[in-house]
Amino acid sequence: MSIPGTRRTLRRALGGGAAVLSLALACACGAAQGAQPQALGSPSPAGGTSAGATPSTTPSTAASPTPSTPASAAPGSATSGAAAPSTARPSGPAGSTATPTPAPGRTPSGGGTTAAAPLPAPDAPGTSIVYSTATGGRTVALTFDDGPGPATGQVLDLLARYGAKATFCEIGPQASANPALVQRIRAEGHRLCDHTVHHPQPMHTLPHDRQVYEITAAKDMIVQAGGPGTQVSWFRAPGGDFSADNRQIAADAGLRPLGWTVDTRDWAKPGVDKIVSTAQRELHPGGIILMHDGGGDRSQTVAALAQLLPWLVQQGYTFAFPAV
Ligand SMILES: [Zn+2]
């Protein structure tokens, strides 16, 4: 399936003016290489560049529930643009091994006047991708994408049972359709993140103004749903498809780009045990765990969370928010 076809669909959807979630939330967040440096080595079939990422071309008239199509998203579907050069240099601790460091001692022996290799351009303030909790130490940030949806209440119930706080990266129309859930998230001390209007994948290939719309309109919808005083602090690109452009757009909107360090791949419904074991294996102190409370049947996620929360407590973790 072609990306241009997807984009035409998106234009039609946008042209209608209605903030209707018309594209399937085939969230391949976990497949993104650009958002999670540690994922570079994870299995990610390269062949599925866009097939799975092409959202449904059948506009749905209701923002909720979302189509149950995540299984169709090829694991590699979001990777086509995820490794944009501007995002290939992680800013967080997870990327410490990947950060290109100019070799200081490489002055050519025969040509002393040769200019040193140029340093990579620093990120503009607020545009670097967050890969750690705000406080560091033995903390963890739980993040839930693609909601709010039918599973959000169960997720909130579990979080409350363990006194855990989490960050919800919401789809704008999902927030509009479920304002009570957004308000409950706020009331119970959790925080909010912008996950666009239509969950476009890839995102970075959209025209600039479309990306502006995806980010700013979603933020407005979330704020509207949450009520006066609602704060949205981060932006998470669908599939982790961050680019210099959309990171700057987010920063201009007061949103810090939010990555993750642990991809549970729960959206692919790999089984409860697999979701739990992945989190337990990959989590390090200060890490950010990616899970989903929307975008399809999340019963595996809920069941996994019920196991992960007591394990985290037992391991001495406390629950924190991502850095801002
Ligand atoms: Zn997503």
Distance CA 66, CA 175 (A): 12
- Number of helical (H) and strand (E) elements in the chain, helices listed first: 8, 8
CATH topology of domain 3-85+124-319: TIM Barrel (3.20.20)
Q: Catalytic residue among 145, 220, 263, 293, which?
A: 145
**Does the active-site annotation cover 199?**
no
Burial 153-176 (b: 16+ CB within 10 A, else e): bbbbebbeeeebbbbbbbbbbbbb
Residues near ligand 1 ion, CB 5 Å cutoff:
27, 29, 145-146, 238
**Residue 266: CB partners within 8 Å, gap ≥ 6?**
30, 275, 291, 292, 298, 300, 301, 304
Structure tokens at 215: 């980010």
Residue 110 has pLDDT above 50, yes or no: no
Query: Domain residues of the chain, as ranges?
Result: 3-85+124-319
- Mention every residue, 6+ apart, whose C-beta is less than 8 A from residue 249: 208, 211, 212, 215, 216
Can you list the alpha helix ranges (DSSP code H) found in 234-298? 244-252, 272-282
Query: Using one digit for the tens of pLDDT, what is the confidence trace for 9-49?
Result: 333 333 333 333 334 444 544 444 434 444 333 333 333 33
CA of 5 relative to ligand 1 center, distance in Å: 20
- Encode 5-25 in three state secondary structure: HHHHHHHHHHHCCCCCCCCCC
pLDDT digits (tens, 9 = 90+) for 40-82: 333 333 333 333 333 333 333 333 333 333 333 333 333 333 3
Q: Tell me, in angstroms, the distance from the centre of ligand 1 to residue 116's CA.
A: 41
DSSP label of 286: T
Identify the pLDDT of residue 114: 53
Is there a catalytic annotation at residue 198? no
Query: How far is the centre of ligand 1, averaged over its atoms, from the C-alpha of 297 (Å)?
Result: 14
Compute the distance between CA of residue 322 and CA of residue 313 in angstroms, rounded to an integer: 18
In angstroms, what is the span from residue 59 Cα to ligand 1's centroid?
Answer: 18
Q: Which of 195, 198, 199, 292 is catalytic?
A: 292
CA of 83 to the centre of ligand 1 (A): 17
